């Protein structure tokens, strides 16, 4: 039995990962890390809850960490420092904790185009986060870089919905790396990565291939 710590289970991808873990064979122990309690109608899991997210971490042994932490500039009111805190600082804090605890596997959801040298703020922060995790030298690091995600979101994102609709329409004409990524396929790939040997970085094609593994 593996003990899996899932951070960001209230978001689109984290919530789907949690759902898929809970409907699995039940052989894994699942712990969520969040600022507020998570209510689920079925399935059993533990919760580490604190407003200061990293303060909820304990010395309890964990086999794998799945990090789905992330926000948007809209959600932080355009505050770049708040965005950096969620999308980079908290992720790296979790990575340092995992290293200190001897966690064998760390999985993180980043973004297509992540590049520490990018002119675009979002891509640059994601790239800096990835480089920071690599510098921590975790035993096994899986980095997922999906394109725009499809799936049921709790918050309204009018511009993103329009963009997804356009990209879905054009999808047959787009390169594979630019096609919208179904949120459930990404979640399945993340769970399958728990069994993968060695580190890796996954774009759309690799994500879908990993999701298809039985």
The domain spanning residue 20 has which CATH number? Answer: 3.40.50.720
Computed from CA positions of residues 104, 21, 171, 70, in that sequence, does the dihedral angle turn out positive or negative?
negative
Alpha helix stretches (DSSP H) within the chain: 12-22, 80-84, 90-101, 121-136, 158-170, 183-193, 204-211
pLDDT at 172: 56
Contact 71, 86 (CB under 8 A): yes
- Taking residue 20's Cβ as centre, other Cβ atoms within 10 Å add up to 14
| Number of structural domains found in the chain | 1
Distances (CA, A) of 69 to 10, 85, 114, 162, 214: 9, 10, 15, 24, 26
Computed from CA positions of residues 55, 70, 151, 65, in that sequence, does the dihedral angle turn out positive or negative?
negative
Q: Could you read off the pLDDT tens digit of each residue along the chain, which spans 214 residues?
A: 899 999 999 999 999 999 999 987 777 899 999 999 998 766 789 999 999 999 999 999 999 999 999 999 999 999 999 999 999 999 999 999 999 999 999 999 999 999 999 999 999 999 999 999 999 999 999 999 999 998 775 555 555 555 545 445 445 555 566 678 999 999 999 999 998 889 999 999 999 999 998 7
User: Shortest CA distance to 45 belongs to which of 56, 31, 35?
Assistant: 31
User: CB-based burial of residue 169 (10 Å sphere; 0-12 exposed, 13-18 middle, 19+ buried)?
Assistant: exposed
- Here the tokens at position 152 are 């049921």
pTM attached to this predicted model? 0.89
Domain of residue 39 covers 3-211
Contact 112, 204 (CB under 8 A): yes
pLDDT at 178: 61
pLDDT at 165: 52
d(CA 27, CA 196): 17
């Amino acid at each position: 039995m593996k003990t899996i710590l899932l951070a960001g289970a209230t978001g689109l991808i984290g919530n789907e990962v949690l759902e898929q873990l809970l409907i699995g064979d039940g052989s894994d122990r699942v712990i969520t890390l969040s600022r507020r309690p998570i209510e689920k109608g079925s399935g059993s899991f533990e919760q580490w809850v604190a407003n200061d997210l990293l303060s909820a971490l304990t010395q309890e042994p964990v086999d794998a960490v799945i990090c789905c932490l992330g926000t948007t500039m809209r959600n932080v009111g355009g505050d770049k420092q708040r965005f950096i805190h969620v999308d980079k600082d908290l992720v790296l804090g979790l990575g340092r904790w995992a290293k200190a605890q001897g966690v064998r596997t760390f999985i993180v959801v980043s973004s297509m185009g992540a590049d520490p040298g990018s002119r675009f703020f979002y891509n640059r922060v994601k790239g800096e986060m990835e480089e920071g995790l690599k510098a921590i030298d975790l035993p096994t690091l899986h980095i997922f870089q999906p394109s725009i995600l499809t799936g049921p979101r709790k918050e309204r994102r009018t511009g993103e919905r329009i963009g997804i609709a356009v990209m879905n329409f054009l999808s047959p004409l787009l390169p594979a790396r630019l096609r919208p990524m179904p949120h459930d396929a990404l979640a399945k790939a993340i769970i399958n990565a728990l069994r993968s040997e060695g580190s890796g970085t996954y774009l759309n094609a690799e994500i879908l291939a990993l999701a298809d593994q039985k």
